[in-house]
Structure 1
Amino acid sequence: MKVLITGAKGQLGGALQRTAPDHATIVAVDREGCDLTDTAALRALIMSQAPDIVINAAAYTAVDKAESDEPLARAINADAVGVMAKTLDDTGGKLVHVSTDFVFDGQSARAYRPDDERAPLSVYGRTKAAGEDHLRASDVLVRTGWVYEAGGANFVLTMTRLMNERDEIGVVADQIGAPTWATGLARVIWGLIGREAQGTFHHSDAGVASWYDFAVAIAEEASEIGLIQNLPRINPITTSDYPTPAKRPSFSLLDCSTTRAALADDPAHGTAHWRTHLRMMLKEEKALG
């Protein structure tokens, strides 16, 4: 099985490479290897490699910057997906595309199911939704959110840095979702590929949290292993206290029951609580020095 992975240097791209099954031949490219805004180069890459599967782990993820940079966000998050799908029509491969909880508006009274109506609030969300629309019936769409990984640029490492610099920080407490460890997400994606899945799936770690809850857990776990020296005071604040250019969904918890049912025969996929994975990630981060 030959697999082309985009976003090779990203959090998920790296995790996909580290967790790849032994029978997979991996071709991993980053922005330098293939600029997703270069339609001809992207098509040529897929035609020349003729992969059985393309995992699109690349995205324009600068949520606030996208509000003033929509053409580039759309080129990467939507148009490039269309090029991938159309080229795979010619080569015969399958596309596994990673999307986001930001395609929802946050008004649901329950966790979002894969077939729920989308209503994105931001340019980032709209362009990711447009990318989803290019997928074919035989492809796989995996939505996720709040992704983090050791060594990456993410909320966890931002928090540990701030906690080492400040005695007090404020963190938004009225946005609800669930953190997702990229390594666990990668394993779920490989699990779905191994089962020849088709359609839309959701994955985040088990449990529920606000960003404030997540920050408190980070402080406790990081302090326990010596990544931060003192526990700072963490104050819950509201979204209105911390205005941003892009509007975020206030509730973006994903219903992952379909995914977990599909992978039920393998307990390694998708059942751990987010705090368990946070603890594992922080130990990895400490080992990185």
Structure 2
Amino acid sequence: MNYIEPILNGLMVGGLYGLFGLGLALAFGIMRIVNIAHGEFVVLAAYLGVTLLAATPLPLPAVFVCVAAAAFVLGWALQATVLNRVLGPNPVPAMVITMGLSIVLRNALVKLYGADIQSIDIGPLQDAGIGVFGISIGLLPVMIFAASALLFVGVNLLLTRTTIGRAFRAAADDYEILETLGFNRRRIYSAAMGLAVALSAIAGLLLAMRSSFSPFSGVERLLIAFEVVIIGGLGSLRGCFLGGLFLGVVQVVGLKLNPNSGPLFGHLAFFAVLLFRHANLGPFFAWGRK
């Protein structure tokens, strides 16, 4: 049985999975917030993209910019008006608030759009393919993988080469030191959440281009994001990307073995990683931490 093609396709899927986890990893790494509404933000962005494409003459790249900008404002406003008020050593209040927000968003999407499955139609590109060593790979998955990799590189450069990125890292390490340097902790947190939601929105648009979605798709995306972040190691961007690749490959190879398995093999692999961690054998991708 030839496993080269499912492995390559799994890597393409894994790039998008890694992007699902990136926004969640940023929110937790910088502010220790477990954003339960993360999946709903992904789906909300997908619906906003569909709406803009249907109601305006904007091309797809402009829709990406508009949706990402709107998501940044939403994340900033959420952090500035609500989450900054409950930040502290206890993560439960923020979890409860974002859980309530996820329920509100999910029901609002059902009310506005119904429960029908939707997607973004990108024309002939949807079915275009390229040949690699005699193996056919979809052009769209390759483009999405490349976009995901570029976003990871861009976020890494932002965190390591810019003033705001260094402020994010300082806030994650010790916010008191951040304030002694003249930064407003709450504004830094608001900007970080804005960036996290914007990245989630881009992931949602890429999801809508690649597959279908519904108002109830957020729970599945949140689960994937959690698995990616935990497999890769909390606070590790490189590990998050590698965790997504690992999960994508396991899931697609599992479908090759059993077409009726769905995401079962991915979840089993995640469970195996948890057992691996519990045995005190170290982070699965510890060498990828940064």
TM-score by length of 2: 0.27
Higher relative contact order structure (alpha carbons within 8 Å, sequence separation ≥ 6): 2
> TM-score if structure 1 supplies the norm length?
0.27
Structure with the bigger percentage of helix: 2
